[in-house]
């Protein structure tokens, strides 16, 4: 047994942590998130140069990582700094590109940091169900066009290339017949409606109206599931990073805030809650470890582990966000305190790629198969 990261991985995590501490403090993050674009291409490039994008992909794909623990190590740091740059979309779409033929060059550019990607899969009615794809793909004279709408795509506007799922055959809810396409907003005739998100990131609706796209995989369901599994590992570890920050800040507060002449941490009513919160965070970390380790397992083992993790992170995330605010009292409710932004991000992670109920349900269903 060894629960430590490999030396290389730890070095990358440390370098990334240092970079974010120095160059991406809360003030800078707020400035970036409230800017018109809602992300920083400068930091994106710098992070890519550090090797952060490369760490998300395996050697065969031109990267130098790509395992569950590589993804974990990187996203944990993103959580600690509330990074808003388009890493999740790049991971999901890049993962799919790395598993299909003929996308090596694009992936190289992605890893070099020149091309951020978005993964536009969810739709207004799909509610986390990966097979609920209604966007239609049609082929005419060798040209594919897509029609329909994709919903709340993280950092959609930031992406040069968007990976879109669309139905070639069948009806929404069926796993077969879902194709995967690449589209370029500038030249495809699609429309992007961007907006700020509650947690400080940006998202967007992708409106496809006969928009041109390039088919990269037919019957892409299992590719989607696999990519989303990496996304769940990423989000779980981002959440763990956020929770560690919330825990540290709350502990610090309990030790320093005085009421009734003593630090509030002296009240047993709060001590037990803090104890509970920290043990739940360790449970969440273990769930994250299980999920990261299971990425290379067979499908059912992998999917059960990532669903278990997202369920745990969702449940514990709500607890930690709410307790952190509560134990801070009024000050925890303020914009000025970084804590409130961590709490918002943690809560919103629950709304990405499936919430706690969705994954509990899925865990049960996968158990029947196993």
Partner 1 sequence: MDLRFAPEEEAFREEVRTFLKEKLPTRIAEKVRQGKRLTKQDHETWHAILNERGWLANHWPKEYGGPGWSVAQAYIFDVETALAHAPRIIPFAVSMLGPVLIKYGSEAQKSHWLPRILDGTDWWCQGYSEPGSGSDLASLKTSAVRDGDHYIVNGQKTWTTLAQHANMIFCLVRTSTTGKKQEGISFLLIDMNTPGVEVRPIVLLDGEREVNEVFFTDVRVPVANLVGEENKGWTYAKYLLTYERTNIAGVGGSMAAFKELQRIAATERKNGKPLAEDPLFAARLARLEIDLENMKTTNLRVLAASGGGAASLEFSAMLKIRGTEIRQEITSLTRRALGPYAQPFISEALDEGFNGEPVGPEYAASAAVDYFNNRKLSIFGGSNEVQREIITKAILEL
Ligand X SMILES: Cc1cc2nc3c(=O)[nH]c(=O)nc-3n(C[C@H](O)[C@H](O)[C@H](O)COP(=O)(O)OP(=O)(O)OC[C@H]3O[C@@H](n4cnc5c(N)ncnc54)[C@H](O)[C@@H]3O)c2cc1C
Binding mask 332-351 for ligand X (x = CB under 6 A): -x------------------
Q: What are phi and psi of 120, to 5 degrees?
A: -100, 95
Q: If you ran DSSP here, which 8-state letter would residue 257 be given?
A: -
Among 124, 173, 210, 329, binds ligand X (CB under 6 A): 329
- 289-297 LR contacts (CB < 8 Å, sep 24+): 289/3, 289/72, 291/68, 291/232, 291/233, 291/236, 292/67, 292/68, 292/69, 292/71, 292/72, 292/233, 292/237, 293/68, 293/69, 294/68, 295/67, 295/68, 295/71, 295/229, 295/230, 295/233, 296/67, 296/68
Binding mask 243-262 for partner 1 (x = CB under 8 A): ---------------xxxx-
Residues 269-328, interacting with partner 1 (CB under 8 A): 269-270, 318, 322, 325-326
State which residue, 247 or 344, has the beta carbon closest to partner 1. Answer: 344
How far apart CA 279 and CA 242 sit, in angstroms, is 15
Q: Is 170 in the site for partner 1 (CB under 8 A)?
A: no
Give the shortest CB-313-to-ligand X separation in angstroms.
24
Number of residues that bind partner 1 (CB under 8 A): 50
How far apart CA 70 and CA 44 sit, in angstroms, is 18
Q: Is 257 in the site for ligand X (CB under 6 A)?
A: yes
Among 39, 163, 352, 366, binds partner 1 (CB under 8 A): 352
How far apart CA 56 and CA 62 sit, in angstroms, is 10
Residues 6+ apart with CB under 8 A from 330: none
Among 129, 174, 184, 225, binds partner 1 (CB under 8 A): 129
Q: Is 124 in the site for partner 1 (CB under 8 A)?
A: yes
CA contacts within 13 A on the Cβ side of 369: 12
Binding mask 216-255 for ligand X (x = CB under 6 A): ----------------------------------------
Among 267, 278, 293, 297, binds partner 1 (CB under 8 A): 267
Q: How far is CA 158 from CA 44, 51, 87, 118, 206, in A?
A: 11, 20, 10, 8, 12
Q: If you ran DSSP here, which 8-state letter would residue 131 be given?
A: T
Among 59, 271, 326, 364, binds ligand X (CB under 6 A): 326
CA contacts within 13 A on the Cβ side of 176: 1
Q: Is 85 in the site for partner 1 (CB under 8 A)?
A: no
| CB 288, CB 240: distance < 8 Å | yes
Q: Is 270 in the site for ligand X (CB under 6 A)?
A: yes
Site stretch for partner 1 (CB under 8 A), options 18-26, 95-103, 106-114, 345-353 = 345-353
Of all residues in the shown chain, the one whose CB is closest to ligand X is 329
How far apart CA 351 and CA 304 sit, in angstroms, is 19
CA contacts within 13 A on the Cβ side of 269: 4
Neighbours of 351 (CB within 10 A): 14
Q: Is 11 in the site for ligand X (CB under 6 A)?
A: no
State which residue, 282 or 357, has the beta carbon closest to partner 1. Answer: 357
State which residue, 213 or 321, has the beta carbon closest to partner 1. Answer: 321
Residues that bind ligand X (CB under 6 A): 257, 259-260, 264, 267, 269-270, 326-327, 329-330, 333
Residues that bind partner 1 (CB under 8 A): 122, 124-125, 127-129, 132, 151-152, 172-173, 193, 195-199, 203, 205, 258-261, 267, 269-270, 318, 322, 325-326, 329-330, 332-336, 340-341, 343-344, 347-348, 350-352, 355, 357, 360-361
């Amino acid at each position: 047994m060894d629960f430590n990261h490999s030396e290389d991985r730890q070095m990358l995590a440390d370098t990334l942590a240092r970079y974010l501490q120095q160059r991406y403090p809360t003030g800078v993050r707020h400035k970036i998130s409230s800017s018109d674009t809602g992300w920083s291409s400068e930091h994106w490039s710098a992070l890519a140069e550090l090797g952060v994008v490369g760490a998300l992909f395996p050697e065969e794909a031109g990267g130098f990582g790509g395992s569950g623990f590589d993804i974990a190590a990187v996203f944990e740091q993103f959580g600690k700094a509330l990074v808003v740059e388009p890493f999740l979309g790049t991971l999901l779409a890049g993962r799919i590109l790395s598993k299909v033929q003929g996308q090596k060059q694009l992936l190289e550019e992605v890893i070099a940091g020149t091309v951020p990607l978005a993964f536009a899969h969810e739709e207004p009615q799909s509610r986390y169900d990966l097979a609920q794809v209604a966007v239609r793909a049609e082929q005419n004279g060798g040209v594919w066009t897509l029609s329909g709408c994709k919903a709340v795509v993280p950092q959609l506007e930031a992406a040069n290339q968007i990976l879109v799922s669309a139905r070639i055959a069948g009806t929404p809810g069926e796993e077969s017949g879902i194709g995967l396409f690449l589209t370029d907003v500038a030249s495809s005739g699609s429309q992007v409606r961007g907006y700020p998100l509650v947690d400080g990131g940006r998202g967007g609706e992708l409106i496809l109206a006969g928009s041109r796209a390039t088919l990269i995989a037919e019957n892409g369901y299992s590719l989607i599931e696999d990519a989303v599994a990496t996304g769940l590992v990423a989000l779980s570890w981002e959440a763990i990073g956020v929770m560690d920050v919330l825990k540290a800040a709350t502990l610090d507060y309990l030790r320093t805030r005085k009421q009734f002449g003593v630090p509030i941490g002296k009240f047993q009513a709060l001590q037990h809650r803090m104890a509970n919160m920290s043990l739940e965070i360790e449970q969440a970390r273990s769930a994250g470890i299980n999920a990261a380790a299971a990425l290379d397992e067979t499908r059912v083992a992998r999917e059960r582990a990532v669903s278990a993790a997202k369920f745990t992170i969702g449940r514990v995330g709500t607890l930690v966000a709410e307790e952190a605010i509560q134990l801070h009292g009024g000050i925890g409710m303020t914009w000025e305190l970084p804590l409130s932004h961590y709490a918002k991000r943690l809560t919103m992670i629950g709304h990405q790629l499936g919430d706690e109920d969705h994954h509990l349900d899925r865990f049960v269903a996968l158990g029947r198969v196993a």
